[in-house]
Structure formats: C-alpha cells, structure tokens
C-alpha cells in the first residue's frame, strides 16, 4: 500500500511539472492533513531555526531498562552514543497553528503512561546523514516537493541514516520572534503556535537527541524537520527542514 501511494503522489508531482494541475496546497486540500487551517487570517508556516540547533558533541549515556526513553522506544537499553540538540520551530505564516485539546485529536495525540501526559504523534523528525547520503536525499526532496519524507524514503529504500525518535509533547508559544505580539497558547490543555512565536524543545529534554551508536568517527549532517508527514495544513511544506554539521 505504501509503495502504491508513493507512486501515486510521484505521478501527481510529475503531472504538476508538466502543467496539468496542482496536486496539494492549491485548489484541492491535501488529504494527509488531519489538522486543517482554522485561523480565518490564513494558514501557519512553520520552519526550523538552524541557529538554535547547536548540537553538542556526541557522548556516551547509559539508558536503564525502566526509563521512559527505553519504555517508549526512543533508544535501546544500555550504553549508547547520542547527540543532543535544541529544536525551535517559529511560525512565520499568515495565521496561527491551532491544534486544540489533545483529548479531541486521537488521530494526532497518544497518551504516554510513562510520562503521564499526551504526546504529539508526528511533530518532529530527526536524521543524521553522511554528507554524500544527505546530498542525495536533499536532491530527492527538492525534486519531489509533493511527497512527504516517508514517501520519498519508501521510494528510495537504499538511503540509510540514523533516526531520532523524539515524541512531541506540548505545542505552544515558547519563544517570541516578532514582537510586539502577546502569546495565545501558553498551556498544554489547548495547544497551538501564534504567528511570530515558536515552540522549542531544548537539548535537556527527554528524547531530544539522535542515537548515533555504531557510526564511525567523522563529520555528519544533522537534519531536523517539522511536520514531515503534513499532519497539519501549512502555507509551504518545502521550508520545514534545517541541517547543521556535527562531529562524532
């Protein structure tokens, strides 16, 4: 089913280039959006700020079997090599990202019994690439703007990378980017990101790392992507990624 879906979207992308129509983001809504635009001013447009990523040097850490990291599948138990970094996603769109109450969106949230709160199922994707592999990946993404990350990966199974398993927690106004602009979403009970504000996961939070155990020493590319599977509707999906070099 995934392969057939990928072929369908790739075909639509090629038809768009040929001038036969706009697949998503134009006259027709993207069927993958489970959180549509709800602000009458327009849609949000989240980007990743590479200046705040500031990854630390890789380091060893021992993860216990009963830790939430292990219980929720972020990392295997035992000593692992991990890279921590910060993930900041400002909204520079015409309207707010309005998520609402997690209880009202079972398609987008799941309750974590370990942490005792809801997690956003698909908010952030983290990947660590070799420079050559990232160049190939970057070219594929640019050539297939109608496809999600998952669809491009499904169509190119030879691509390899280290993947972060971060669970989104609370999507709210944390960092102000365009003052003056009072925050609207300050509590996890009703979530969203105002225009000119950013959500942020700083590098000390659970899961805010990529497990790079087994990678050879050298220079790699750390990539972070918000809304990679287009769960919520945006003005532009092509600006959802950022990348910085890291040393392992």
pLDDT tens digits, 63-109: 888 877 777 777 889 999 999 999 999 999 999 999 988 888 777 76
Give the pLDDT mean for 227-231. Answer: 92
Pairwise pLDDT comparison (209 vs 122), residue with the higher score: 209
Give the other-Cβ count within 10 Å of 144's Cβ. Answer: 18
Whole-number pLDDT of residue 117 = 52
The residue among 79, 82, 84 whose CA lies nearest residue 56 is 84
H or E element, residue 99: strand 97-100
Confidence (pTM): 0.82
| Nearest-angstrom CA–CA distance, 41 and 233 | 14
Does the structure show a pLDDT above 70 at 129?
yes
The residue among 234, 210, 114, 127 whose CA lies nearest residue 169 is 114
CA 214 to chain centre: 24
| Nearest-angstrom CA–CA distance, 220 and 92 | 29
Whole-number pLDDT of residue 28 = 64
CA 34 → CA 20, 24, 96, 128, 144, distances in Å? 26, 14, 16, 28, 22
H or E element, residue 33: none
Q: What is the domain count for the chain?
A: 1
Pairing of strands 191-193, 97-100: antiparallel
What is the average pLDDT score of the chain? Answer: 83
196, 181 Cβ separation under 8 angstroms: yes
| Nearest-angstrom CA–CA distance, 199 and 126 | 16
| Nearest-angstrom CA–CA distance, 44 and 192 | 10
Reduced to 3 states (helix: H, G, I; strand: E, B; else coil), residue 45 is coil
Whole-number pLDDT of residue 100 = 86
Asked which of 14-18, 69-73, 113-117, 214-218 is least confident by mean pLDDT, the reply is: 14-18
Whole-number pLDDT of residue 115 = 53
* Host domain of residue 135: 2-247
Pairwise pLDDT comparison (149 vs 8), residue with the higher score: 149
């Amino acid at each position: 089913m995934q392969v057939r879906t990928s072929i369908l979207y790739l075909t639509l992308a090629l038809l768009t280039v040929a001038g036969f129509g706009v697949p998503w983001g134009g006259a027709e809504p993207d069927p993958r959006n489970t959180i549509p635009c709800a602000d009458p001013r327009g849609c949000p447009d989240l980007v990743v700020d590479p200046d705040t990523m500031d990854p630390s040097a890789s380091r060893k850490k021992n993860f216990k079997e009963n830790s939430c990291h292990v219980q929720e599948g972020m990392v295997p138990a035992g000593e692992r090599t991990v890279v921590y970094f910060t993930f900041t996603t400002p909204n520079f769109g015409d309207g707010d990202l309005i998520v609402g109450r997690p209880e009202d969106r079972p398609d987008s949230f799941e309750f974590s019994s370990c942490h005792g709160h809801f997690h956003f199922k698909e908010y952030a994707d983290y990947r660590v690439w070799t420079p050559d592999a990232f160049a190939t990946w970057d070219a594929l993404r640019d050539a297939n703007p109608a496809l999600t990350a998952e669809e491009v990966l499904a169509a190119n199974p030879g691509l390899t990378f280290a993947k972060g398993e971060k669970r989104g927690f609370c999507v709210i106004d944390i960092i102000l980017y365009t003052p003056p602009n009072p925050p609207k979403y300050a509590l996890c009970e009703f979530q969203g990101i105002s225009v000119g504000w950013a959500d942020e996961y700083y590098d000390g939070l659970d899961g805010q790392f990529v497990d790079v155990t087994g990678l050879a020493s050298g220079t790699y590319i750390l990539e972070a992507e918000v809304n990679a599977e287009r769960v919520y509707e945006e003005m532009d999906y092509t600006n959802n990624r950022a990348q910085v070099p890291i040393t392992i």
